[in-house]
């Protein structure tokens, strides 16, 4: 490698400014999102203060070296600082015209507020004088200096923030002022000295007067912040993996706190809650950027800027247009106005709710910014979940306590909790809670995730709380200023009404209302944009989407959500009702076939009625009915009281029941007497279930309901099991037909679940007896990995924490292992029967990542729970597009 190449391979810093911009938007992995987009905005001519970005590789190197800065880094920083000095015509640490910089984190995936930032770097006892002269504003210069000592002490050196606060309060008292902004120059000078003492006392060193020392330490702090607990938690909760580390952005400072003609704000190019094409955001006059995002002061809506500075508002609208035309995506921007001049400090793809995501892409197709394919690929399928969530019923009575900002839509009710830890504990104990905070800080992230909703008394709809909540689709009301929150006493007061922790409150994320008591919720209604996107998805996808449902009600919901049939009707769920469990228990406890048949006869009418109901809901669509699957002891009473009740009902001795329950006990029930093994030993169960299916079908047909049953035999491992049970099924069908004198055609396909590895490996012979395969990926995962489905709680968290597994294989398919078995089975099965219909009905049917795999092995259908049907429809379309792209590239 030539020397020149080696240098560029080791390049750690990319500059952005007029004359030289080295990065661009495609370099997110290397420069982080913030760095890449600062470079991009500079290139397209937007007003960005110049600066440079240290690469994410540097962060990885720093961590790998055991928290040591690479030795060439400081030299490279210095040479870029010289370029920056030249461009800004200011000098770092200078006594007359000092250059100040900000140091900010920025990873490839945005993690709002989770890592560290330091502002105003470069101020020292000497340069603060220069800043005062340069700006003609001594108070401002002193204020910037005290902010630096505080922020540097807190973020870089770990001095607790409240130690500075206490000193500040003392000085304000001494100067008889209540607001920070009322402290005059002499007060600020005293504050600076006091801050320096706090700094020295808690760090053992003087506040650094060498600006490069400040810079070096701040860069290191930002690199370190990649692995602070809240950043790790955020990555875990948001499933952010595989990133190198954070970039570090060093940028010349602009000030939004230079007086009444300055300000700072955050905005979205479209409304991130609803997706409406309206400029949406907030700003504060005479403030620094951190004041907006940290939610300390409640800002004004950006529309109000029209009155304050119409010229700047116009400029911002132009920026919105430029950014959207360039990125073809909704942007989230940060800006600062310094003495009437607008500067852009950040742009990134804006986080949005599921509803907004759908509206934005559909609108953008109409605006001809993107095509339908891009639109389909851009909405994360899982986000549709939020559109399927309930809202408060408009008819329900609402005792509205107060109103805040509607920061993230949805409806949530629960007991108020005042700390993040409490939110987690109470939720784990089964309570629904609302996390109530004055303002949320990134430290609250775990509590925000656990709570049903988030309520704050300060902060705007662009504060971190709101941004994070929206990303999760979690209901949030922010800035409800009339709430007086006493976290210590665990009370909230609104207009003299005290709410205790034992009273439920409700929050409406679409209106901002805070309501006393629980409010009735209603099912979601689908917007026209949702319907449009779904119609594009249906046109694009290749796989059919069915649902797992075992009641007429669930079937009807699933059908409304677009299910094209039932892929798994678990018949065992039908035996739990109060009237059914008794005959079921009788059947299980019977000691001979005769008694068993008597009990089964009692169950038959229930089953038949259930099937008729489901066929009615699914009129004209296929319904795959699975024969009884779980181990029988699951139906038996374990407590003495219920055992005695059963003995009385069955007119047998209590001891008899106890003995039979013990007899039926299995050490390893998931691998025991279940699935098709039950019907091998007790064929009369199969006969009863098939009879119920066929009678229900004939009854429906006679009522002109188009019933299309399919019979599925579970847990087959050996082809001869299936052969035998198929024969019995066919004979039973024939018998019922004759008994019911049904002359018409009854074409009932008989298939099997593939959920035992042996069945997958011998699929060619199994297929000889099957009209279809349905992969039971829950059991297939259990048996391939050898992990008991019911016992993973003890070791799975460690496997994930220690990166032995990247994800829980019961949630997302292990495509390498379990996937291989599916691929083999499909291939072997179709070698025997070219058109063998193959589908999947395990939980993975609702997981977008697994769906991509199912498309790649050309399954015909996926079946998932009713509420995941729309997600599966979109994910299946995305899978088709992604698999097409892959074939194109291969």
Active site residues: 464, 841
Report if residue 565 touches Mg ion, rule: CB under 5 A: no
Q: How far is CA 197 from CA 180, 548, 738, 754, 874, in A?
A: 20, 67, 98, 71, 60
Report if residue 410 touches Mg ion, rule: CB under 5 A: no
Residue from 29, 629, 771, 847 that binds ligand PEP (CB under 6 A)? 629
DSSP H helical ranges for 434-527: 445-450, 464-472
What are the tokens at 312? 């700047």
Stretch that binds ligand PEP, among 56-64, 692-700, 775-783, 825-833 (CB under 6 A): 775-783
User: Of residues 827-866, which lie at the interface with ligand PEP (CB under 6 A)?
Assistant: 841-842
Question: Which of residues 87 and 779 has its CB atom nearest to ligand PEP in the complex?
Answer: 779
- Cα separation, 674 vs 693, in Å, equals 21
- Cα separation, 665 vs 656, in Å, equals 14
Question: Which of residues 658 and 824 has its CB atom nearest to ligand PEP in the complex?
Answer: 824
Dihedral, 67, 100, 269, 882 alpha carbons, nearest 10:
-30
271, 302 in Cβ contact below 8 A?
no
Bridge partner residues of 99 (DSSP): 92
773, 767 in Cβ contact below 8 A?
yes
Question: Which of residues 334 and 755 has its CB atom nearest to ligand PEP in the complex?
Answer: 755
842 binds, among ligand PEP, Mg ion, none (CB under 5 to 8 A by kind): ligand PEP
Question: Which of residues 73 and 753 has its CB atom nearest to ligand PEP in the complex?
Answer: 753
Question: Which of residues 441 and 808 has its CB atom nearest to ligand PEP in the complex?
Answer: 808
Nearest to 622, CA basis, from 709, 535, 492, 743: 709
- Cα separation, 109 vs 128, in Å, equals 36
Q: CB of residue 755 vs Mg ion: minimum separation in angstroms? A: 5
Question: Which of residues 338 and 629 has its CB atom nearest to ligand PEP in the complex?
Answer: 629
419 binds, among Mg ion, ligand PEP, none (CB under 5 to 8 A by kind): none
Stretch that binds ligand PEP, among 80-88, 125-133, 724-732, 770-778 (CB under 6 A): 770-778
73, 66 in Cβ contact below 8 A?
no
Q: CB of residue 530 vs ligand PEP: minimum separation in angstroms? A: 28
Nearest to 36, CA basis, from 63, 8, 56: 56
Question: Which of residues 404 and 842 has its CB atom nearest to ligand PEP in the complex?
Answer: 842
Report if residue 778 touches ligand PEP, rule: CB under 6 A: yes
Residue from 408, 624, 777, 855 that binds ligand PEP (CB under 6 A)? 777
Stretch that binds ligand PEP, among 265-273, 461-469, 773-781, 814-822 (CB under 6 A): 773-781
Bridge partner residues of 499 (DSSP): 492
122, 100 in Cβ contact below 8 A?
yes
* Residues found in the chain: 890
Site string for Mg ion, 739-778 (x = CB under 5 A): ----------------x--------------------x--
Burial-class residue 653 by CB neighbours within 10 Å (0-12, 13-18, 19+): exposed
Q: Which helix (H) or strand (E) covers residue 713, if one does?
A: strand 708-713
Residue from 332, 383, 755, 847 that binds ligand PEP (CB under 6 A)? 755
Stretch that binds ligand PEP, among 304-312, 539-547, 771-779, 826-834 (CB under 6 A): 771-779
Report if residue 631 touches ligand PEP, rule: CB under 6 A: no
Q: CB of residue 762 vs ligand PEP: minimum separation in angstroms? A: 18
- Cα separation, 663 vs 327, in Å, equals 68
Query: Which letter, b or e, does each residue of 564-598 get, where b requires 16 or more Cβ atoms within 10 Å of its Cβ?
Result: bbbbbbbbbebbeeeebbbbbbbbbbbeeeeebbe
Q: CB of residue 818 vs Mg ion: minimum separation in angstroms? A: 13
Stretch that binds ligand PEP, among 227-235, 433-441, 549-557, 776-784 (CB under 6 A): 776-784
- Is the Cα dihedral 502, 504, 509, 511 positive or negative? negative
Residue from 94, 383, 586, 779 that binds Mg ion (CB under 5 A)? 779
Report if residue 843 touches Mg ion, rule: CB under 5 A: no
Q: CB of residue 782 vs ligand PEP: minimum separation in angstroms? A: 7
Question: Which of residues 25 and 626 has its CB atom nearest to ligand PEP in the complex?
Answer: 626
Q: CB of residue 778 vs ligand PEP: minimum separation in angstroms? A: 3
Q: Which residues are CB-contacts of 439 (< 8 A; sequence separation ≥ 6)?
A: 294, 295, 296, 456, 457, 458, 459, 463, 465
What are the tokens at 190? 């005293």
Report if residue 442 touches Mg ion, rule: CB under 5 A: no
Site string for ligand PEP, 548-587 (x = CB under 6 A): --------------------x-x-----------------
Query: Which letter, b or e, does each residue of 508-521 get, where b requires 16 or more Cβ atoms within 10 Å of its Cβ?
Result: bbbbbbbbbeebeb
Q: CB of residue 866 vs ligand PEP: minimum separation in angstroms? A: 15
Q: CB of residue 791 vs ligand PEP: minimum separation in angstroms? A: 15
Query: Which parts of this chain interact with Mg ion (CB under 5 A)?
Result: 755, 776, 779
Query: Which parts of this chain interact with ligand PEP (CB under 6 A)?
Result: 568, 570, 629, 755, 776-779, 841-842
């Amino acid at each position: 490698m030539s020397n020149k190449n080696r240098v560029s391979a080791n390049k750690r810093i990319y500059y952005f400014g007029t004359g030289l911009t080295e990065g661009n938007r495609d370099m997110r992995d290397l420069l982080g999102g913030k760095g890449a987009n600062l470079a991009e905005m500079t290139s397209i001519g937007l007003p960005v203060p110049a600066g440079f970005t240290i690469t994410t590789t540097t962060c990885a190197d720093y961590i790998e070296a055991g928290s040591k800065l690479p030795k060439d880094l400081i030299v490279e920083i210095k040479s870029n600082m010289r370029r920056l000095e030249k461009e800004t015509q200011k000098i770092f640490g200078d006594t007359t015209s000092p250059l100040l910089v900000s140091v900010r984190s920025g990873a490839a995936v945005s993690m709002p507020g989770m890592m560290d930032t330091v502002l105003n770097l470069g101020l020292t006892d000497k340069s603060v004088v220069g800043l005062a002269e340069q700006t003609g504003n001594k108070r401002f210069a002193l204020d910037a200096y005290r902010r630096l000592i505080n922020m540097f002490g807190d973020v870089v050196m770990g001095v607790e923030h409240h130690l500075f606060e206490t000193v500040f309060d003392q000085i304000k008292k001494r100067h008889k002022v209540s607001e920070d902004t009322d402290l005059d120059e002499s007060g600020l000078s005293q504050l600076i000295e006091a801050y320096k003492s706090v700094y020295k006392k808690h760090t053992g060193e003087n506040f650094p007067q060498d600006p490069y020392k400040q810079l070096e330490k701040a860069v290191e702090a930002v690199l370190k912040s990649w692995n602070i607990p809240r950043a790790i938690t955020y990555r875990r909760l948001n499933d952010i993996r595989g990133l190198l580390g954070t970039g570090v952005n060093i940028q010349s400072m602009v000030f939004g706190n230079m007086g009444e003609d300055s300000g700072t704000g955050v905005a979205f190019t479209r409304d991130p809650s609803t997706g409406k094409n309206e400029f949406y955001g907030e700003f504060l006059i005479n403030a620094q950027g951190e004041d907006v995002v940290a939610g300390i002061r409640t800002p004004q809506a950006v529309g109000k800027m029209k009155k304050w500075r119409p010229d700047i508002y116009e400029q911002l609208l132009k920026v919105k247009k430029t950014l959207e035309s360039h990125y073809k995506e909704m942007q989230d921007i940060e800006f600062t106005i310094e003495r009437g001049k607008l500067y852009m400090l950040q742009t990134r793809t804006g986080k949005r709710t599921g509803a907004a995501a759908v509206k934005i892409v559909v609108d953008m197709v109409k605006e001809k910014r993107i095509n339908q394919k891009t639109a389909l690929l851009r909405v994360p399928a899982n986000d549709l979940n939020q559109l399927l969530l309930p809202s408060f019923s408009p008819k329900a009575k609402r005792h509205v306590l107060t109103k805040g900002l509607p920061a993230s839509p949805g409806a949530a009710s629960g007991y108020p909790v005042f700390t993040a830890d409490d939110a987690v504990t109470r939720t784990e104990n089964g309570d629904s809670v609302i996390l109530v905070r004055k303002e949320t800080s990134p430290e609250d992230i775990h509590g925000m995730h656990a709570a049903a909703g988030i309520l704050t008394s300060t902060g705007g709809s662009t504060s971190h709380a709101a941004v994070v909540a929206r990303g999760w689709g979690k209901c949030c009301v922010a800035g409800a200023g009339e709430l007086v929150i006493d976290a210590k006493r665990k009370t909230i007061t609104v207009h003299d009404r005290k709410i205790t922790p034992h009273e439920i409150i409700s929050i409406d994320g679409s209106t901002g209302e805070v309501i006393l008591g629980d409010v009735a919720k209603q099912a979601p209604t689908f917007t026209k944009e949702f319907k449009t996107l779904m119609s594009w998805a249906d046109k694009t996808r290749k796989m059919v989407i069915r649902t797992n449902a075992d009641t007429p009600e669930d079937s009807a919901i699933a059908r409304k959500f677009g299910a094209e049939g039932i892929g798994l009707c678990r018949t065992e769920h039908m035996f739990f009702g109060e009237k059914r469990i008794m005959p079921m228990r009788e059947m299980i406890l019977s000691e001979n076939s005769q008694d068993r048949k008597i009990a089964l006869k009692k169950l038959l009418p229930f089953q038949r009625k259930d099937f008729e109901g489901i066929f009615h809901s699914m009129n004209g669509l296929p319904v795959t009915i699975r024969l009884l699957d779980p181990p029988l002891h699951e139906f038996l009473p374990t407590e003495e009281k219920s055992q005695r009740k059963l003995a009385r009902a069955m007119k047998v001795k209590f001891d008899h029941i106890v003995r039979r329950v013990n007899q039926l006990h299995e050490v390893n029930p998931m691998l025991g007497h279940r699935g098709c093994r039950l019907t091998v030993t007790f064929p009369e169960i199969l006969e009863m279930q098939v009879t119920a299916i066929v009678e229900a079908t004939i009854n429906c047909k006679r009522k002109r309901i188009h019933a299309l049953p399919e019979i599925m035999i579970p847990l087959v491992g050996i082809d001869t099991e299936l052969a035998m049970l198929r024969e019995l099924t066919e004979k039973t069908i024939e018998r019922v037909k004759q008994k019911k004198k049904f002359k018409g055609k009854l074409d009932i396909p008989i298939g099997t679940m593939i959920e035992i590895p042996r069945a997958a490996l011998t699929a060619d012979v199994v297929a000889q007896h099957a009209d279809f395969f349905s992969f039971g990926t829950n059991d297939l995962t259990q048996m391939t990995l050898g992990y008991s489905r019911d016992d993973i709680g003890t070791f799975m968290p460690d496997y994930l924490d220690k990166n032995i597994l990247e994800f829980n294989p019961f949630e997302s398919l292990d495509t390498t292992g379990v996937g291989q078995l599916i691929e083999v089975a499909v291939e072997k099965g179709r070698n025997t029967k070219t058109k063998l219909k193959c589908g999947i009905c395990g939980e993975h049917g609702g997981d977008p990542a697994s769906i991509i795999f199912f498309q790649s092995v050309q399954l015909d259908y996926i079946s998932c729970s009713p509420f995941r049907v729309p997600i599966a429809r979109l994910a299946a379309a995305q899978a088709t597009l992604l698999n097409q792209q892959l074939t194109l590239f291969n």
